[in-house]
Amino acid sequence: MDSSLEIPGIARLVTGGGGLPRFEIATPLAEAHVYLHGAQVAHFAPAGQPPVLFMSAQSWFQPGKPIRGGVPVIFPWFGSRQGDASAPAHGFARTRAWAAESILQRADGVVVVTLRLEPDDAMRTMWNASHNWVLRHRIAIGSELSMELEIENRGTEPIQCEEALHTYFNVSDVRGVMVWGLENTEYYDKADGMRRKRQDGEPIRFTAETDRTYVNTEATCIIEDPGLHRRIMVEKRHSHSTIVWNPWIAKARAMADFGDDEWPRMVCVETGNVADNRLEIAPSARHVTETVVHCEAC
């Protein structure tokens, strides 16, 4: 492995699941695993805390396949691609090997890993051959987890795309969890034919398959988990969509890379720009979506 990408005693590049390379980071503030595959944060635990991110015990760790858990990076489309049923769900960024651009430790002890993806012929063929872009995922690991997804348009035409940080959170039991922050916000309900609805003045509670794309919201979300006596705060900037998902029983059984009994222990609260909030990035411009995850006791 490339030792210039290591920080002695703090961060090293090792062989992870399925032989895929990953950064293992351990500081007095936190521990984390970051795969080059999909620039995916697979594990994050602040010191003295249980893991914040969920990872399926059935996940694949294979080139060309998505990892089921942590923070998949979704680009350049969310969900299925309109007009192209053969295109991979959630785009191609999550199934590609990214390049490690840099790793450093700041004076405050936070470790920052930067990963980069540039288009190859296969991506150009799959999406838009005339587009030229660079994707960067900047991940800062400290007592909080901060992620910046940067899209740089290096071409001469505007780029239209969707993006998301599809975060899987670890919870004690989703049936006792509440998600605050999306009260009175409009959403598309994928579990009900993508009907457009409005959240009432209450937090989200989970009693069945939940798959909702909230639009035109920059609100911070709070995942209240009485079982773990903690609140997970999900702050964000330059993101106007929040997706909330739990597959419940039947969908969990239908996924080959997810355990039948794992659904109670996870909830996705995703930071993105999708549907009504899809992005248009001008030539030579960049868009940076940021999210900061931190926990507090409750």
**Residues identified as active-site:** 166, 270
Residue 284 φ/ψ, nearest 5 degrees: 70, 5
* Touching ligand TA6, residues 188-247 (CB under 6 A): 190, 211, 243, 245
Residue number, 27 or 94, with CB nearest to ligand TA6:
94
Residue number, 14 or 89, with CB nearest to ligand TA6:
89
* Touching ligand TA6, residues 23-42 (CB under 6 A): none
Q: Is residue 267 near ligand TA6 by the rule CB under 6 A?
A: no
Q: Is residue 163 near ligand TA6 by the rule CB under 6 A?
A: no
Min dist. Cβ of residue 89 to ligand TA6 (A)? 4
| Alpha carbon distances (Å) from 197 to 52, 202, 249 | 30, 14, 23
* Touching ligand TA6, residues 45-74 (CB under 6 A): 66
* Touching ligand TA6, residues 166-185 (CB under 6 A): 166
- Omega before 66 cis (within 30°)? no
Min dist. Cβ of residue 40 to ligand TA6 (A)? 12
Pattern 84-123, ligand TA6, x by CB under 6 A: -----xx---------------------------------
Residue number, 30 or 165, with CB nearest to ligand TA6:
165
Residue number, 137 or 166, with CB nearest to ligand TA6:
166
| CA–CA separation, 232 and 295 (whole Å) | 4
| CA–CA separation, 149 and 153 (whole Å) | 13
Min dist. Cβ of residue 190 to ligand TA6 (A)? 5
Residue number, 44 or 78, with CB nearest to ligand TA6:
78
| Alpha carbon distances (Å) from 110 to 70, 163, 207, 274 | 19, 26, 38, 30
CA atoms within 13 A on the CB side of 73: 32
Residue number, 153 or 242, with CB nearest to ligand TA6:
242
Min dist. Cβ of residue 184 to ligand TA6 (A)? 22
Q: Is residue 133 near ligand TA6 by the rule CB under 6 A?
A: no
Q: Which residues, in sequence order, are bridge partners of residue 180?
A: 222
How many of the chain's residues bind ligand TA6 (CB under 6 A)? 11
Task: From 29, 198, 18, select the one nearest 110 (Cα to Cα).
Answer: 29
Judge contact between 236 and 290, C-beta under 8 A: yes
Min dist. Cβ of residue 14 to ligand TA6 (A)? 25
Min dist. Cβ of residue 88 to ligand TA6 (A)? 8
| CA–CA separation, 275 and 169 (whole Å) | 23
Judge contact between 184 and 199, C-beta under 8 A: yes
> Which residues contact ligand TA6 (rule: CB under 6 A)?
66, 79, 89-90, 166, 190, 211, 243, 245, 268, 270
